[in-house]
Amino acid sequence: MRRSLFPILTLPLLMACGGHDDTTGTDMPDSTATTEFQWEAEQFGDIRVLRYQVPGWDQLSLQQKQLSYYLNMAGLAGRDIMWDQNYRHNLVIRRALEKIIKEYKGTRSGVDWDEFMLYAKSVFFSNGIHHHYSNDKHTPTFSQGYFEGLLKESGATLSPEVLTAMFDPSVDAKKVSLDADKDVVLASAVNFYSDDINEKEVEAFYARMEKKDDPRPLSYGINSKLVRGADGQLMEQVYKVGGMYGAALEESVKWLEKAVGVAENPQQKAALELLIQYYRTGDLKTWDDFNVAWVKDTTNTVDYILGFVEVYNDPLGKRGSYEACVEVNDPIASKNMHVIMENAQWFEDNSPLLPQHKKEKVVGITYRFINTAGEAGDAAPSTPIGVNLPNADWIRKDHGSKSVSLGNISDAYDKSSGTSTLELFCHDQEEIDRAKAHASLAGILHTALHEVVGHASGKIEPGIAGPDVTLKSYASTLEEGRADLVALYYVLDPKLVELGVMPNLEVGKSEYDGYIRNGLLVQLRRLKEGKNIEEAHMRNRQWVSAWAYEKGKADSVIVKVVRDGNTYYDIRDYEKLRVLFGDLLREVQRIKSQGDYEAGKALVENYGVKVDPAIHREVLKRAEAIKTAPYAGFIQPEMVPVMDADGKITDVKLEYPMDFVKQMLMYGEKHSFLPDVN
């Protein structure tokens, strides 16, 4: 499970450099020496391309640097997989775009060329022809005739079917559709199911596999595509060496084997060996064994996320997107946030959940601040800022989970921020001042509470299947909302002041201001006019905010104010809002614990999906004043091994490239292992 930037978008982004206050007890990566670093490389369309640094890299031992390098190479080896998972024509389209950019000899200027380059960059950024966040297909703003000319002049070809996929807006218009009125499998272009397979068939297929009351259910469907076999029966094409995506996984295994040789400890070595075995066999039990081993490896400095992990790209929440992230622990920052981890049981005991839904014993949450040193697949160029894994509920319950905040990513967001949205959307000066003083820390605490306490809390009633089975397409947004509610409930708790992680309750209030402001107003700027909300996190931010607004109306907990034609939401009673968040948390936990699909659906559909068109229009208009593009992602640092005469690695240097397209082309040349069609 991951936390993206957006819950805190417009908050910490506004903090001045070095806005992290030492007196709060939160020590963030020291960046005073890096003021010269250029954080933003470029903007195009609705995208900002940023850069990040890896503090602490030079302090790593040679062995740790080698380990990072091998893990990063293993991760990059699978980059093509994410492209193919996103859409079946993505790889062949990307290769045509790469070829044109490299080979085209005609005029490389003018409106058409500029529009072509905008399209190409947008496709690179989203690992395919659908927007990484809205899931809408990118619309080329140049003619098909012009594009066919580019192809011809560059010696590239695309079939008529692929050209139609690019240029006909009605074909495969949505990567992931969560539209309740549609068959979400048929309506989604994502390449997890053959075109002729519908939602009911998928559910029937997995209902036969999933055993009721299984205390350790396998992650069915996590590493395969579901297709119709020659006999008309559905069957899984498993991602493994020798199977689907075999060429990329084989390359990945090659690097993982080198990583095994420089593992930091026996536990890490064992986990890496299991990952290799899993890539080779595709066996789901091995995937679980790997995750258990990985969770237990808590003493390393270099850690990683690798495999088919997050399930947001599957409308039914079963199939994992390929992801890679290399992590370097930040010991100082981790230590200061440790206190939340140590008090996980207190948070569970004191939560507003029904007694039967509380965990008697919260096990082993490991929380760390890390700096990422390299990301690929689902984690790049757009990246999460917090991740909590593994996803399997039973492993989390029996063995615990690892939760990370990506400190250097948050830092890069902070430092690259442009024009303030605070003046535009805050109700009053007090709210602006509070955000400036506390929003950065509030964002950090929200992430920590969401990941460490939130996802780890609560339990499912005996005999009830997991949420992917019971809550289906609503599982992701309900889980993210539940974790947000845990964070919101505790971020205004005096216990956090007592624990020394925040100086006073103003921090919590600023989180409430920001959450409501974002959930009801600011996030709408990311939605095109006339659209409803589809993305799971955006949905949950709205259903949490809109539900609290409505339930608190009678007591004027949150008051809607219209001034000069602009809408604002002003929180008048923070304590009562906290009670409302607690009430909603108890209900959402009940929905998860009892698998109450109808109640979950009603909550999301009634509060999280539809937007008020008038307010939406107004927000888009107000947001025109913001010069900063609403989405951001990163150019990755490049790890360059230094070798001696015998080819032995003596050091690994980090370089920070500036040119986004150049990196994309380099990846296409050096880290591409899949054929055009899988």
User: Contact residues for Zn ion (CB under 5 A)?
Assistant: 1, 3, 480, 483
590 by DSSP, 3-state: which?
Answer: helix
Q: Which is nearer to Zn ion, 1 or 445 (CB)?
A: 1
Q: Which is nearer to Zn ion, 137 or 397 (CB)?
A: 397
How many other C-beta atoms lie within 10 A of the C-beta of residue 299? 11
Q: Which is nearer to Zn ion, 4 or 301 (CB)?
A: 4
9 to 322, 525, 537: CA distances (angstroms): 25, 12, 13
Q: Measuring CA to CA, which residue among 512, 497, 498, 518 is closest to residue 575?
A: 512
Q: Which residue is nearest to Zn ion (CB)?
A: 1
How many other C-beta atoms lie within 10 A of the C-beta of residue 646? 6
Query: What whole-number distance in Å separates Cα of residue 199 and Cα of residue 421?
Result: 41
CB of 596 to Zn ion, least distance (A): 21
Q: Which is nearer to Zn ion, 378 or 480 (CB)?
A: 480
Provide CB contacts within 8 A for 212, sequence distance 6+.
Answer: 463, 465
Q: Which is nearer to Zn ion, 162 or 478 (CB)?
A: 478
CB of 403 to Zn ion, least distance (A): 9
CB of 67 to Zn ion, least distance (A): 27
Would you give the distance in Å from CA 34 to the centre of its chain?
A: 27
Query: What whole-number distance in Å separates Cα of residue 642 and Cα of residue 363?
Result: 42
CB of 386 to Zn ion, least distance (A): 7
What is the spatial order of strands in the sheet that 322-329 belongs to?
2-3, 386-389, 401-406, 365-377, 322-329, 302-308
**Burial of 69: CB neighbours in 10 Å, binned 0-12, 13-18, 19+:** buried
Query: What whole-number distance in Å separates Cα of residue 61 and Cα of residue 461?
Result: 47
Provide CB contacts within 8 A for 217, sequence distance 6+.
Answer: 210, 211, 392, 394, 465, 466
Residues 272 and 260: beta-carbon distance below 8 Å: yes
Query: What whole-number distance in Å separates Cα of residue 133 and Cα of residue 608?
Result: 16
Provide CB contacts within 8 A for 298, sequence distance 6+.
Answer: 366, 402
Q: Which is nearer to Zn ion, 248 or 309 (CB)?
A: 309
Amino acid letter for position 52: Y
Token pair, residue 574, equals 């923070």
Residues 462 and 513: beta-carbon distance below 8 Å: no
Residue 13 has phi, psi (to 5 degrees) of -60, -25
Residue 108 has phi, psi (to 5 degrees) of -105, 50
CA atoms within 13 A on the CB side of 73: 19
CB of 491 to Zn ion, least distance (A): 15
Q: Which is nearer to Zn ion, 140 or 320 (CB)?
A: 320
CB of 455 to Zn ion, least distance (A): 6
CB of 667 to Zn ion, least distance (A): 28
Q: Which is nearer to Zn ion, 97 or 295 (CB)?
A: 295
Q: Which is nearer to Zn ion, 121 or 450 (CB)?
A: 450
Q: Which is nearer to Zn ion, 3 or 121 (CB)?
A: 3
Would you give the distance in Å from CA 53 to the centre of its chain?
A: 20
Q: Which is nearer to Zn ion, 64 or 542 (CB)?
A: 542
Residues 668 and 95: beta-carbon distance below 8 Å: yes
SS (H, E, C) 514-540: HHHHHHHCHHHHHCCCCCCCCCHHHHH
CB of 454 to Zn ion, least distance (A): 7
Q: Which is nearer to Zn ion, 324 or 448 (CB)?
A: 448
CB of 97 to Zn ion, least distance (A): 33
Report the chain's C-alpha Rg in angstroms: 24
CB of 311 to Zn ion, least distance (A): 12
Query: What whole-number distance in Å separates Cα of residue 282 and Cα of residue 276?
Result: 10
Tokens 């709205």 — which residue?
542
Q: Measuring CA to CA, which residue among 665, 670, 662, 678 is closest to residue 95?
A: 665
312 by DSSP, 3-state: which?
Answer: coil
Residues 483 and 611: beta-carbon distance below 8 Å: no
CB of 457 to Zn ion, least distance (A): 12
Q: Which is nearer to Zn ion, 328 or 483 (CB)?
A: 483
CB of 467 to Zn ion, least distance (A): 13
Q: Which is nearer to Zn ion, 288 or 480 (CB)?
A: 480
Tokens 């969401």 — which residue?
450
Please list, residue by residue across 157-167, b when 16 or more beta carbons sit within 10 angstroms of its beta carbon and e when fewer do: ebeeebbebbe
Q: Which is nearer to Zn ion, 172 or 451 (CB)?
A: 451
Q: Which is nearer to Zn ion, 3 or 225 (CB)?
A: 3
